[in-house]
Amino acid sequence: MAELYNRLRTTANTLLTNYGQGTMVYQEPAITSGPSYDPVITPGAEHSVSGIKVSGQRKNTYIEGGYIQASDLMVMLPEFGTTPTLSGKMKVNGTTYQIIMVDPITEEVPPVGYYLGLRV
């Protein structure tokens, strides 16, 4: 079963890389250290990942569920080595978006990929 799951993850990554809509960049949250009166803020790591914009019935499901608004951008990304969080950010076509929703495509760890809701 593990071999089949690994093949599915590889196939999803290949398809999204080959047929995705350009490279998107996930920015991990900044790391704050030092005393509170003089904090040192280190930018989080950036991960380039290929994905596609989601529309139609899949996006409508999340809108009707109240997770995102119609004006929000929704993307589907393959697993890319880190777990996206709500405190991270995504750059798509040069625009930086706040992540407002993270939904793993599968329940396995790590999942095959993620649906992300993004807002400017």
- Residue ranges per structural domain of the chain: 2-119
Beta-sheet strands, E only, within 3-112? 23-27, 31-33, 40-42, 46-50, 52-53, 73-78, 89-92, 95-104
Q: Which CATH number fits domain 2-119: 3.40.50.970, 2.40.10.270, 2.60.40.2550, 3.30.1510.10?
A: 2.40.10.270
pLDDT for 54-107, tens place per residue?
888 888 888 888 888 888 889 998 888 889 999 999 998 888 999 999 999 888
CA 14, 78, 104, 2 dihedral sign is positive
Kindly tell me if the per-residue pLDDT of 110 is higher than 90.
Answer: no
Q: Does pTM surpass 0.85?
A: no
Contacts of 48 (CB under 8 A, 6+ apart): 23, 24, 25
pLDDT in tens, 13-55: 677 666 656 668 999 998 888 898 988 988 889 998 888 888 8
CA distance 12 to 44: 26
pLDDT computed for residue 19 by the predictor? 65
Query: How high is the pLDDT of residue 56?
Result: 80
